[in-house]
């Protein structure tokens, strides 16, 4: 029988990095084993769940390249089944009605805390036989003795004494089901065989194991992944900066890089650092997932992203860059010349880590006008380069458009030779003239990409600048 895994987020916000990794590991394991990867939207809390968040989760998964099988199950549509399960537990004595009010519970916990004990429900309504006409919740009658345990796919044997667990609420006073009950019913209904989720769920697993037992259902296998930590060592959260996968998309990270980085958090395969999706699927095994938490390091993501930028298919990266420019509404001239964009990407991807950086550093390719960086201009646009600059200007003017890197190289070198200049002596001034600053791709590429007309305009401006300097030193 093929295995069935699921990702079950609650739709209360964007897909965050932690959830993305959980989804990725489930997806990888399912694909590796030739099983199914399902989606379930845990929206039993109707107050906090939103339609937009559901869409955001779908979009986030798609962005990461994680596809799912079958129709996503919306948990709120299963309420009837959940209630039936509660009724069954009530009948079999595995559950009971609790009439304690929120105030009473709060007081109960306050007292326990005051006595140094752990705040938990004390089972006050466990044995009551009356049925007052008051609101009630249904609680699970947790075994008071013995242990619950399981062999975790990642951690190994994990167990706890039953007395540490209190009687959890299965059904709220408005008769809606709570998380643990719904999860058990739905995982069973969906035929889930392996539950891979975050470490923060181990406590729930103990409770859920009891529910499986009481309901007479077969429990799946569990694997709890260590959490992702922020750079300060605490569980990754909003206060660590970007946590939503969309934020990373907006920062110019590629899905492939994010996928790779997330996969390498807690999982490894020998010394291999970069993986194609196919390699990831082939190599991934839940047995190789480590048990210790890991820090989400942006620097590593950056280097990985740079790698994918450089080594990805040029056309694909160009498309990604075009989408990025459009989404971020980078003020570029409306330019549908994809060949030119392709050249920009080709020359910039060797020197940038993100699409965002690529966009920022390509400013002078997109703008009509450029500003000369004061310091760079002062350093490189000096009277000594006036002659070669003028010569280059006239040489380019005489060349047929469009200018190409290859075509520009010989005359450029000829000018160098005539003036007895080293490459750097002219390249830097030209670079400043054309880009405004001292940093850019190779100068021939820059000339080609900027194009003849603009090169002439910018060269003229630079020449004028030098002339002014020569007149007023």
Partner RNA sequence: GGUCCCAUCGUCUAGGGGUUAGGACGCCGCCCUCUCACGGCGGAAACAGGGGUUCAAUUCCCCUUGGGACUACCA
| Active-site entry in 62, 218, 238, 379 | 238
The DSSP code for 12 is S
Does position 414 interact with RNA (CB under 7 A)? The reply is: no
Ranges within 247-266 binding RNA (CB under 7 A) = 264-266
Residues 65, 77, 110, 135: which binds RNA (CB under 7 A)?
135
Rule CB under 7 A: say whether 429 interacts with RNA.
Answer: no
Shortest distance (Å) from residue 471 CB to RNA:
28
The region, left, alpha or beta by phi > 0 then psi within -120 to 50, assigned to residue 191 is left
CB of 310 to RNA, least distance (A): 6
Distance CA 122, CA 129 (A): 17
Q: Could you tell me which stretch among 250-258, 394-402, 442-450, 451-459 binds RNA (CB under 7 A)?
A: 442-450
**By the rule CB under 7 A, 297 interacts with RNA:** yes
Give me the least distance between CB of 472 and RNA, in Å please.
27
Q: Is 428 in the site for RNA (CB under 7 A)?
A: yes
Smallest distance, RNA to C-beta of residue 133, A: 15
Q: Determine contact, residues 442/428, Cβ cutoff 8 Å.
A: no
Question: Which lies closer to RNA via its Cβ, residue 411 or residue 438?
Answer: 438
Binding-site size, RNA (CB under 7 A):
88
344-350 contacts at long range (C-beta below 8 A, 24 or more positions apart): 344/449, 345/314, 345/317, 345/318, 345/321, 346/314, 347/441, 347/442, 347/445, 347/446, 347/449, 348/441, 349/309, 349/310, 349/317, 350/310, 350/441
Using the rule CB under 7 A, is 423 a contact of RNA? Answer: yes
Binding region for RNA (CB under 7 A) out of 64-72, 87-95, 328-336, 419-427: 419-427
Is residue 144 at the binding interface for RNA, with CB under 7 A as the rule?
no
Cβ–Cβ under 8 Å, residues 263 and 28: yes
* CB 466 within 8 Å of CB 406: no
Residue with tokens 């300097």: 469
Catalytic: 238? yes
Q: Which is nearer to RNA, 290 or 326 (CB)?
A: 290
Decide: is 290 part of the binding site for RNA (CB under 7 A): yes
CA–CA distance, 366 with 399 (Å, rounded to integer): 23
Report how far residue 364's alpha carbon sits from residue 34's, in angstroms, rounded to the nearest whole number. Answer: 49
CA 394 remoteness from chain centre: 51
Residues in contact with 218: Cβ distance below 8 Å, sequence separation at least 6, in sequence order: 188, 212
Residue list 330-369, contact with RNA (CB under 7 A): 350-352
Q: Which of residues 70-129 bind RNA (CB under 7 A)?
A: 75, 100-102, 105, 109, 116, 118-121
Which CB sits closer to RNA, 14 or 42? Answer: 42
- Give 88 or 155: the residue with its C-beta nearer to RNA: 155
- Catalytic residue annotation: 238
């Amino acid at each position: 029988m093929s295995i069935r895994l699921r990702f079950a987020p609650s739709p209360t916000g964007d897909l965050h990095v932690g959830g993305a990794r959980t989804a990725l590991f489930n997806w990888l394991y399912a694909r590796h084993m030739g099983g199914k990867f399902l989606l379930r939207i845990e929206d039993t809390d109707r107050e906090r769940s939103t339609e937009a968040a559901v869409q955001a989760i779908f979009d986030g998964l798609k962005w990461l390249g994680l596809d799912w099988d079958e129709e996503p199950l919306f948990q709120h549509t299963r309420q009837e089944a959940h209630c039936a399960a509660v009724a069954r537990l009530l009948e079999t004595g595995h559950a009971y009605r609790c009439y304690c009010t929120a105030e009473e519970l709060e007081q109960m916990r306050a007292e326990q805390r005051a006595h140094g004990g752990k705040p938990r429900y004390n089972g006050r309504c466990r044995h009551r036989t009356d049925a007052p006409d008051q609101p009630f919740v249904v609680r699970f009658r947790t075994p008071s003795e013995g242990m619950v345990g399981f062999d975790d796919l990642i951690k190994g044997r994990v167990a706890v004494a039953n007395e540490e667990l209190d009687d959890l609420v299965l059904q709220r006073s408005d008769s809606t089901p709570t998380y643990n009950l719904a999860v058990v019913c739905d995982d069973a209904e969906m035929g889930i065989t392996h539950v891979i989720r975050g470490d923060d769920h181990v406590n729930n697993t103990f409770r859920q194991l009891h529910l499986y037992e009481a309901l007479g259902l077969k429990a799946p296998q569990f694997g709890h992944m260590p959490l992702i930590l922020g750079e300060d060592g605490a569980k990754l959260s909003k206060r660590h900066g970007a946590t939503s996968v969309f934020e990373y998309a907006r920062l110019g990270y590629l899905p492939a890089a994010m996928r790779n980085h997330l996969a390498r958090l807690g999982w490894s395969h020998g010394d291999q650092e970069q993986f194609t999706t196919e390699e990831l699927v082939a190599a991934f095994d839940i047995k190789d997932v480590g048990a210790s938490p890991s820090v989400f390091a942006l620097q590593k993501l950056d280097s990985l992203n740079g790698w994918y930028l450089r080594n990805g298919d040029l056309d694909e990266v160009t498309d990604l860059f075009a989408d990025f420019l459009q989404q971020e509404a980078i003020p570029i001239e409306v330019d549908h010349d994809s060949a030119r964009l392709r050249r920009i990407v080709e020359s910039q991807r060797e020197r940038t880590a993100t699409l965002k950086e690529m966009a920022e550093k390509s400013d002078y390719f997109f703008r009509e006008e450029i500003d000369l960086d004061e310091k760079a201009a002062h350093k490189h646009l000096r009277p000594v380069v006036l002659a070669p600059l003028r010569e280059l200007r006239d040489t380019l003017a005489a060349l047929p458009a469009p200018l190409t890197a290859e075509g520009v190289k010989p005359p450029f070198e000829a000018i160098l030779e005539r003036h007895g200049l080293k490459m750097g002596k002219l390249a830097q001034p030209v670079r400043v003239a054309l880009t405004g600053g001292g940093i850019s791709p190779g100068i021939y590429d820059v000339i080609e990409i900027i194009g003849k007309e603009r090169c002439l305009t910018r060269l003229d401006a630079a020449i004028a600048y030098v002339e002014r300097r020569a007149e007023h030193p």
